[in-house]
C-alpha cells in the first residue's frame, strides 16, 4: 500500500474535521430546538442559533463530503499550518497551557494576585518549560507580580484579588 | 472649530498623551518581535484601558495599532524575519540593505516612509469618513443589517484559501455570541442552566482567547521542538534620510500611500496585500528594477508607506459604517464599544468630539512612533534578544489577569483557557481565526438589526431590498459571495489545481 501524499493526508484531516463539526452542528441544533422557545412575535430568540446550527451542519457536510471525494486524488502540497510540532507533545502543551491559566484563576482567588502571579510564572518557567536559570525565574516571577501590581493596581486603580488563604 | 478645540483640549491632557505614548511604544515593541503581532498587543492592551477615561483609552488602543503596524519593519530589516505579516515585503530589500551594512539607512527610510504613509492616509480618511458617514446617516435596521452582512462577506477575503473553512469560522464566531441571555426577549440561550453563562461570552475574553492563547501554546511547543538560538542583533541606530533622498522617492511614497489607503478601505484585504502590491508597483516603475531584492531603498519605501497607509484606510469603514476590515480594526471596534462609542454614522451626530479626538490621537501616535523609533531604537532592539518562551509566560499573566479584570470573574479566565485551546485546535486544522473575530464582533448587531427590521415590516423579507442602500449592500454581498463561491467551485472541479501554496516562503516573485 502506497504512502499518502500530503494532499491526501490533508483530505483525510478535513474529513475528520468536517465530521466532528457536523456532530457539533447537529448537537447544537438539537439543544437549540429543545431549550430555546421560538418566541411569540416575529423572529424570536430561537431563529438565529437555529439557522447557525443548520448552517454549520450544511458547511461541515460540504467540507467532509469534498474531502471524501478527493481522498485518493492528487493535488498540491498544502504546506504546513505555520504552527510548530505535531502529535502528543503538542496536545500535552495545549492541556498544560489550559491548566496553567485555570490554576492561575483558581489561585488568584485563594492566594491573592501577587502570590498567584509569582507562583504561576515560576511554575511555568521552571516546571513546564524547564528553565534552569534561577535568577531569570525569580526575576520574572517577582518582576511580573510587582510590575502588574504597580501598573494595574496602583497606577490604573484596577481591583486585584487579595485571596482568602492569607490573612494579609 | 469648537468641536476641534474641545477635542484638542480633551486629547492633550497628560493622561491621554501618556496613554498614546505608552500604546505607541507597546505597539512598536510587539510589532517588532516576530510572532508577537500587534493584534496580540491590542488584545492585551484592552484591559489596560478599563480604568482610563474614553479619550485616553482610545488613544492607548490607536497608539498600539499604529505602533504595531510600524514596528514590524525593525525585525524585517535587522533579522530578515517580519515582525508582522504586513512587514513581510520589507524583508525583500530591507534585509539585504542591512547585510550591506546599511541597516541604519534602511530603518531611517522605513520610519520616514511609515510616517508619511500614515499621515497621507489620515488626510484621505478625514476627508472621506465624514462623507461616507453622512451618506449612511438615514439608515434604518434593514439598511444597517444589509451593511453588516456586507461587512461579514469580507470573510471571503479572510478565508486564507478555503471559502468553506472561512464560512465555518464565521458561523462559529456568530455561535459564540448567541450564548447568554437574549437582549431582545430576555430568553436564556445555550446556558445549560448555569448562572455564569447567562452573562454570555465577553467580547474581550473571546479576543484574548483567539489572539493570545494560540500564540502562547505555539511558543511553548516551539521551545521544546526547535533549536534554541539567541538572535544576534548588532548595535544600531536610525539614520534619517536626507531631504534629497526623500525628494527622490516622494512620488513613489505618495502613490504607495494612496494605494495602501485604498486597499485598507476595502474590508478583508489589509497590510500584507497593500505592501506586496506596492512593492510590485515600485519595481515595475523603478529605473533600476534589477536592484530589487538586492537592497533597493525603493523596495523599503514602497511597502512601508503602503502598509502604514492601510491604518487610515481601514479606519474609514470602521468609523463611518462600523465595519472592521481586519483583526486590528476588529479589536479597535471592541475597545470602542467597551468604552461606549458605537462606530457608524450615528457616532458623527452623538459624539463628534470623539471623532476629532481619534484624528488627534492618530497624529500624536504617528509622531510618537516616529520619535520613539528614531531615539529609542538602540534600546528596544535589545528586546529582540528576549527568549520567546519568557515572553510567552509574561503573556500568560497578562492574558489571565486581562480576562479577570473584564468582570472580576475567574469564570472569564476559564473561558479564555477553553476557547483559546479551541482556537489553537482550529488553527491546526486550518480553520482561519479572523472570520471568527468578525462573527464575534458583528454577530450581536446583525441579529438585533435583522429582528428589528422583521418586526417593523411584519415579517416581510422584501424590506431588505426596499431601499437603495439596502439593495446596494445586499447586491454587493451577493456579488462578492457569489463570485468567490463560483471561483471556489471552478477550482474544486478542475482536475488539478495549480496555485500558490498557502505557506509558501515569501519571495520577490509573490
Q: B52 contacts in A (CB within 8 Å)? A: 156
Most confident among A52-56, B42-46, B499-503 (mean pLDDT): A52-56
Higher pLDDT, B83 or A126: A126
pLDDT in tens, B51-100: 888 889 999 999 998 888 888 788 778 777 677 777 878 888 888 888 78
Query: With an 8 Å Cβ cutoff, is A156 touching chain B?
Result: yes
pLDDT at A32: 95
What is the pLDDT averaged over residues B259-287?
81
- Contact between B364 and A106 under an 8 Å Cβ cutoff? The reply is no
Place of cell 502598509: B307
Name B180's bridge partners. Answer: B189
What is the DSSP-derived secondary structure letter of residue A76? -
Q: B393 contacts in A (CB within 8 Å)? A: 121, 124-125, 129, 140, 144
Interchain CB distance below 8 Å, B223 and A129: yes
Closest Cβ opposite residue A85 in set B52, B225, B503: B225
* pLDDT over 90 at A141, yes or no: yes
pLDDT at B507: 32
Q: Say how many Å lie between the first and final Cα of chain A, rounded.
A: 68
Q: B187 contacts in A (CB within 8 Å)? A: 36-37, 39, 44-45
What is the pLDDT averaged over residues B106-111?
86
pLDDT in tens, B346-361: 888 788 888 888 888 9
Residue of A nearest to B446 (CA): A48
Polymer length in residues for chain A: 168
Query: With an 8 Å Cβ cutoff, is A144 touching chain B?
Result: yes
Interchain CB distance below 8 Å, B390 and A125: yes
Query: Which distant-in-sequence residues (6+ apart) come within 8 Å of B161 by Cβ?
Result: B430, B502
Closest Cβ opposite residue B189 in set A36, A79, A121: A36
Q: A42 contacts in B (CB within 8 Å)? A: 451, 454-455, 458-459
pLDDT at B402: 85
Interchain CB distance below 8 Å, B167 and A55: yes
Q: B400 contacts in A (CB within 8 Å)? A: 101, 104-105, 108, 120
Which of A102, A121, A90 is closest to B214 using CA atoms? A90
At A162, list the grid cell: 487579595
* pLDDT over 60 at A168, yes or no: no
- The alpha-carbon gap from B498 to the nearest alpha carbon of chain A, in Å, equals 7
Q: Please write down the HEC assignment for all residues of B410-464.
A: HHHHHHHHHHHHHHHHHHHCCCCCHHHHHHHHHHHHHHHHHHHHHHHCCCCHHHH
Residue of A nearest to B428 (CA): A81
pLDDT in tens, B294-316: 888 888 899 999 888 888 888 88
* pLDDT over 60 at B499, yes or no: no
Q: A140 contacts in B (CB within 8 Å)? A: 390, 393-394
Q: B141 contacts in A (CB within 8 Å)? A: none
Which of A63, A79, A81, A78 is closest to A22 using CA atoms? A63
- Contact between A161 and A104 under an 8 Å Cβ cutoff? The reply is no
Residue of B nearest to A42 (CA): B455
- The alpha-carbon gap from A27 to the nearest alpha carbon of chain B, in Å, equals 11
A-to-B residue pairs, Cβ atoms closer than 8 angstroms: 216
- The alpha-carbon gap from A1 to the nearest alpha carbon of chain B, in Å, equals 23
Query: With an 8 Å Cβ cutoff, is A112 touching chain B?
Result: no
Query: With an 8 Å Cβ cutoff, is A119 touching chain B?
Result: no
Domain boundaries, chain A: 6-69, 88-155
Query: With an 8 Å Cβ cutoff, is A23 touching chain B?
Result: no
Phi-psi sector, B431: left (phi>0), alpha (psi -120 to 50), beta: beta
What is the DSSP-derived secondary structure letter of residue B287? S
* Angstrom distance (rounded) from CA B11 to CA B7: 6
Interchain CB distance below 8 Å, A120 and B424: no
Which of B300, B268, B303, B298 is closest to B286 using CA atoms? B298
Closest Cβ opposite residue B429 in set A13, A35, A74: A13
Q: What is the overall mean pLDDT for chain A? A: 87
Asked which of A71-80, B392-401, B475-484 is least confident by mean pLDDT, the reply is A71-80
Percent of chain B predicted with pLDDT > 70: 89
Q: B48 contacts in A (CB within 8 Å)? A: 151-152, 156
* pLDDT over 50 at B500, yes or no: no
Which of B449, B397, B270 is closest to A121 using CA atoms? B397
* Angstrom distance (rounded) from CA B439 to CA B441: 6
* Angstrom distance (rounded) from CA B209 to CA B186: 27
Place of cell 475597545: B335
- The alpha-carbon gap from B298 to the nearest alpha carbon of chain A, in Å, equals 30
* pLDDT over 50 at B506, yes or no: no
Q: B484 contacts in A (CB within 8 Å)? A: none
The Cβ of residue B201 has, within 10 Å, a number of other Cβ atoms equal to 20
Interchain CB distance below 8 Å, A101 and B417: yes
Q: Say how many Å lie between the first and final Cα of chain B, rounded.
A: 47
* pLDDT over 70 at B29, yes or no: yes
**B225 confidence band (pLDDT: 50, 70, 90):** confident
Q: What is the DSSP string of B227-284?
A: -------------PPPHHHHHHTHHHHHHHHHHHHHHHHSTT--HHHHHHHHHHHHHH
Interchain CB distance below 8 Å, A106 and B410: yes
Residue of B nearest to A153 (CA): B51
* Angstrom distance (rounded) from CA B305 to CA B116: 6
pLDDT at B508: 31
Which of B37, B155, B161, B165 is closest to B426 using CA atoms? B165
Higher pLDDT, A54 or A4: A54
**B497 confidence band (pLDDT: 50, 70, 90):** very low
What is the pLDDT averaged over residues B29-39?
76
Give chain B's count of helices (H) and strands (E). Answer: 20, 2
Closest Cβ opposite residue B408 in set A31, A104, A159: A159
pLDDT in tens, B368-405: 988 888 887 777 667 777 788 888 899 899 889 888 88
- The alpha-carbon gap from B36 to the nearest alpha carbon of chain A, in Å, equals 14
Residue of A nearest to B56 (CA): A156
* pLDDT over 80 at B124, yes or no: yes
Longest pairwise C-alpha distance within chain B: 71
Q: B417 contacts in A (CB within 8 Å)? A: 97-99, 101-102, 105
What is the pLDDT averaged over residues A121-133?
93
Q: Please write down the HEC assignment for all residues of B189-215.
A: ECCCCCCHHHHCCCHHHHHHHHHHHHH
* Angstrom distance (rounded) from CA B103 to CA B261: 27
pLDDT at B234: 62
Q: A28 contacts in B (CB within 8 Å)? A: 175, 190
pLDDT at B266: 75
- Contact between A152 and A114 under an 8 Å Cβ cutoff? The reply is no
Asked which of A127-136, B25-34, B104-113 is least confident by mean pLDDT, the reply is B25-34
Angle of helix B271-285 relative to helix B88-99, nearest 10 degrees, comes to 50
Residue of B nearest to A40 (CA): B185
Closest Cβ opposite residue B421 in set A17, A77, A94: A94
* pLDDT over 60 at B468, yes or no: yes
Amino acid at each position: 500500500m502506497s504512502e499518502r501524499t500530503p494532499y491526501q493526508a490533508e483530505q483525510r484531516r478535513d474529513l475528520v474535521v468536517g465530521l466532528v463539526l457536523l456532530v457539533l452542528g447537529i448537537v447544537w441544533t438539537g439543544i437549540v430546538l429543545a431549550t430555546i422557545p421560538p418566541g411569540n412575535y416575529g423572529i424570536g430568540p430561537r431563529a438565529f442559533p437555529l439557522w447557525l446550527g443548520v448552517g454549520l451542519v450544511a458547511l461541515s457536510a460540504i467540507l467532509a463530503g469534498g474531502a471524501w471525494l478527493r481522498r485518493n486524488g492528487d493535488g498540491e502540497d498544502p504546506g504546513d499550518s505555520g504552527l510548530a510540532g505535531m502529535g502528543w507533545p503538542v496536545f500535552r502543551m495545549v492541556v498544560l497551557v489550559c491548566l496553567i491559566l485555570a490554576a492561575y484563576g483558581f489561585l488568584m482567588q485563594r492566594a491573592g494576585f501577587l502570590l498567584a502571579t509569582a507562583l504561576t510564572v515560576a511554575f511555568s518557567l521552571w516546571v513546564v518549560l524547564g528553565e534552569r536559570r534561577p535568577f531569570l525565574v525569580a526575576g520574572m516571577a517577582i518582576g511580573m507580580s510587582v510590575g502588574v501590581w504597580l501598573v494595574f493596581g496602583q497606577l490604573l486603580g484596577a481591583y486585584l484579588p487579595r485571596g482568602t488563604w492569607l490573612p494579609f | 472649530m469648537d468641536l476641534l478645540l474641545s477635542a484638542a483640549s480633551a486629547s492633550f491632557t497628560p493622561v491621554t498623551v501618556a496613554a498614546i505614548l505608552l500604546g505607541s511604544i507597546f505597539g512598536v515593541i510587539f510589532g517588532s518581535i516576530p510572532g508577537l503581532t500587534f493584534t496580540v498587543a491590542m488584545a492585551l492592551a484592552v484591559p489596560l484601558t478599563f480604568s482610563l477615561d474614553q479619550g485616553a483609552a482610545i488613544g492607548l488602543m490607536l497608539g498600539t495599532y499604529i505602533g504595531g503596524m510600524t514596528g514590524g519593519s525593525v525585525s524585517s530589516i535587522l533579522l530578515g524575519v517580519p515582525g508582522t505579516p504586513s512587514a513581510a515585503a520589507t524583508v525583500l530589500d530591507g534585509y539585504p540593505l542591512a547585510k550591506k551594512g546599511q541597516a541604519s539607512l534602511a530603518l531611517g527610510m522605513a520610519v520616514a516612509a511609515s510616517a508619511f504613509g500614515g499621515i497621507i492616509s489620515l488626510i484621505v480618511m478625514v476627508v472621506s469618513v465624514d462623507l461616507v458617514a453622512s451618506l449612511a446617516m438615514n439608515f434604518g435596521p434593514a439598511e444597517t443589517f444589509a451593511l453588516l452582512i456586507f461587512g461579514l462577506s469580507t470573510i471571503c477575503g479572510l478565508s486564507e484559501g478555503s471559502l468553506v473553512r472561512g464560512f465555518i469560522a464565521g458561523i462559529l464566531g456568530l455561535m459564540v455570541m448567541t450564548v447568554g441571555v437574549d437582549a431582545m426577549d430576555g430568553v436564556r440561550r445555550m446556558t445549560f442552566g448555569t448562572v455564569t453563562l447567562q452573562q454570555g461570552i465577553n467580547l474581550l475574553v473571546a479576543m484574548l482567547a483567539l489572539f493570545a492563547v494560540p500564540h502562547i501554546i505555539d511558543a511553548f511547543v516551539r521551545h521544546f521542538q526547535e533549536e534554541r538560538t539567541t538572535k544576534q542583533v548588532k548595535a544600531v541606530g536610525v539614520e534619517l534620510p536626507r531631504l534629497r533622498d526623500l525628494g527622490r522617492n516622494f512620488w513613489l511614497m505618495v502613490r504607495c500611500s494612496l494605494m495602501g489607503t485604498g486597499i485598507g478601505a476595502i474590508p478583508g484585504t489589509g497590510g500584507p496585500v497593500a505592501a506586496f502590491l506596492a512593492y510590485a508597483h515600485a519595481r515595475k516603475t523603478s529605473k533600476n528594477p534589477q536592484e530589487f531584492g538586492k537592497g533597493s531603498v525603493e523596495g523599503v519605501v514602497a511597502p512601508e508607506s503602503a502598509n502604514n497607509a492601510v491604518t487610515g484606510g481601514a479606519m474609514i469603514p470602521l468609523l463611518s459604517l462600523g465595519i472592521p476590515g481586519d483583526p486590528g480594526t476588529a479589536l479597535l471596534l471592541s475597545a470602542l464599544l467597551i468604552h461606549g462609542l458605537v462606530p457608524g454614522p450615528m457616532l458623527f451626530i452623538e459624539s463628534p468630539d470623539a471623532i476629532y479626538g481619534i484624528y488627534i490621537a492618530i497624529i500624536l501616535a504617528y509622531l510618537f512612533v516616529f520619535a520613539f523609533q528614531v531615539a529609542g531604537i538602540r534600546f528596544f532592539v535589545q528586546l529582540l534578544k528576549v527568549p520567546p518562551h519568557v515572553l510567552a509566560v509574561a503573556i500568560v499573566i497578562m492574558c489571565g489577569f486581562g480576562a479577570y479584570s473584564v468582570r472580576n470573574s475567574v469564570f472569564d479566565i476559564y473561558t479564555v483557557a477553553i476557547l483559546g485551546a479551541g482556537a489553537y485546535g482550529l488553527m491546526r486544522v486550518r480553520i482561519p481565526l479572523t472570520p471568527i473575530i468578525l462573527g464575534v464582533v458583528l454577530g450581536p448587531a446583525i441579529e438585533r438589526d435583522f429582528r428589528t427590521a422583521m418586526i417593523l415590516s411584519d415579517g416581510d423579507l422584501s424590506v431588505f431590498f426596499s431601499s437603495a442602500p439596502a439593495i446596494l449592500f445586499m447586491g454587493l454581498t451577493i456579488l462578492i459571495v457569489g463570485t468567490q463561491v463560483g471561483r471556489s467551485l471552478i477550482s474544486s472541479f478542475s482536475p488539478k489545481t495549480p496555485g500558490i501554496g498557502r505557506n509558501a516562503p515569501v519571495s520577490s516573485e509573490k
